[in-house]
Amino acid sequence: MNEFIFLFNSVVISGAVIGAIYAMGAIGVTLIFSILRFAHFAHADLMTTGAFVTFFLTVMFPGVGPAVGLPTAFVMLPIAMVLTSLIAVGIDKAFYKPLREHNVKPIVLVMASLGVTFMLQGLVRLFAGTGSRNLFVDDRKEIFRIDLPWELASRKIVITEPQLLLFLFTIIAVVSLHYFLTRSRLGKAMRAMSDNADLARVSGINVNVVVIVTWVIAGSLCAAAGTLLSLDVALKPDLSFNLLLPIFAAAIVGGVGHVYGAVLGGFVVGFAESLAVFNWAVVLRPLARAMEWDLPRSMALVPTEYKITVPFFILIAILVLRPTGILKGKVI
């Protein structure tokens, strides 16, 4: 029984945590892809930037959280989302829009976004240093250990407050995005533009507004994902390093240009990663004892050091088997 609780903790919970983070990143990537038609390589660093915005806010007002009974960083999140959206819109105005107006090929925008990645990286490290930070300044991370009622289950299910907040936030974000895209006029205009940008222009849809809304959504989700991830682990300037590839893999696996596909892709990649590095020896040990097998110490499918290869091979597999992604994205 304990073995299965271990499996639950390290596969189901941690897979869902990282999957939710990837999903939020992939939604932004997929939206930018379908509205502006380029792969936004600065996305992971926008997440880091968002997390640092939260960090600065938390340091400035450390007492807010304890007053409300939530982590300060979480209370500051809405403000950070607004600020990060502004940063995203500003980046677009300064660096991508002029190129778009020159009618460059999409790949040039990809390269410009790499330039932006470095600018963000440089700035974050210039102002915040290269060390790792804790988003809990005046408060502490709460960890819930849930006892199971069965006798054999002495191990506890472990879940932290930031993880619960993350799940809650992800559900609310996805549901509200769904209603925004299907019910509001601007949301429909976004879908129209991703469907047929020329016709959208001809119909009188205000392309600039749609672009700004896209960046606002992407930027807010970046801030949220970056903050919630750093609340759960730690805030590091190279947070983005391990996020970029999984996010792209998630967007492509789900079907580029497809918001629900991005969510699905995020969880697929997240669970695949945690399953791949899970040490199956732990679960098999009781059986092995009974059968008197000799199990190796580690029976993970992929050694933890090679975790980064998992999204890559998922990506390669999907490109070979079904390049349009699971949900058939529009943009190939």
**Inter-helix orientation angle 244-254/43-60, to 10°:** 120
- The answer to whether 25 and 51 have CB atoms below 8 angstroms apart is no
Residue closer to another protein (CB basis): 60 or 308: 308
Instruction: For the CB of residue 127, give the shortest distance to another protein in the complex, in Å.
Output: 8
Instruction: For the CB of residue 76, give the shortest distance to another protein in the complex, in Å.
Output: 23
Residue closer to another protein (CB basis): 78 or 303: 303
Instruction: Tell whether residue 188 is a contact of another protein (CB under 8 A).
Output: yes
User: How many residues sit in the footprint of another protein (CB under 8 A)?
Assistant: 71
**Among residues 21, 31, 38, 275, which is the contact residue for another protein, using CB under 8 A?**
38
Rounded to the nearest angstrom, the gap between the alpha carbon of residue 55 and the centroid of all alpha carbons in its chain is: 18
Q: Which helix (H) or strand (E) holds 235?
A: none
Give, as ranges, the residues between 144 and 173 that touch another protein (CB under 8 A).
none
Instruction: Tell whether residue 295 is a contact of another protein (CB under 8 A).
Output: no
Residue closer to another protein (CB basis): 162 or 325: 325
Residue closer to another protein (CB basis): 155 or 188: 188
Instruction: Tell whether residue 322 is a contact of another protein (CB under 8 A).
Output: no
Instruction: Tell whether residue 211 is a contact of another protein (CB under 8 A).
Output: no
Instruction: Give the range of 9-17, 79-87, 127-135, 166-174 binding another protein by CB under 8 A.
Output: 127-135
Instruction: For the CB of residue 72, give the shortest distance to another protein in the complex, in Å.
Output: 23
Give, as ranges, the residues between 44 and 103 that touch another protein (CB under 8 A).
95, 98-99, 102
300: β partners? 279
Residue closer to another protein (CB basis): 16 or 190: 190
Whose tokens are 């470095």? That residue is 118
**Dihedral in degrees, nearest 10, Cα atoms 23, 186, 84, 96:** 100
CB contact set of 149 (below 8 Å; sequence gap of 6+): none
**Among residues 7, 70, 108, 295, which is the contact residue for another protein, using CB under 8 A?**
108
Residue closer to another protein (CB basis): 168 or 209: 209
Q: 3-class SS at 133? A: strand
Instruction: Tell whether residue 36 is a contact of another protein (CB under 8 A).
Output: no
CB contact set of 308 (below 8 Å; sequence gap of 6+): 242, 245
- The answer to whether 36 and 100 have CB atoms below 8 angstroms apart is yes
160: β partners? 143
Ordered DSSP codes for 157-181: EEEEHHHHHHHHHHHHHHHHHHHHH
Instruction: Tell whether residue 134 is a contact of another protein (CB under 8 A).
Output: no
Whose tokens are 């991370």? That residue is 141
**Among residues 114, 216, 283, 284, which is the contact residue for another protein, using CB under 8 A?**
114
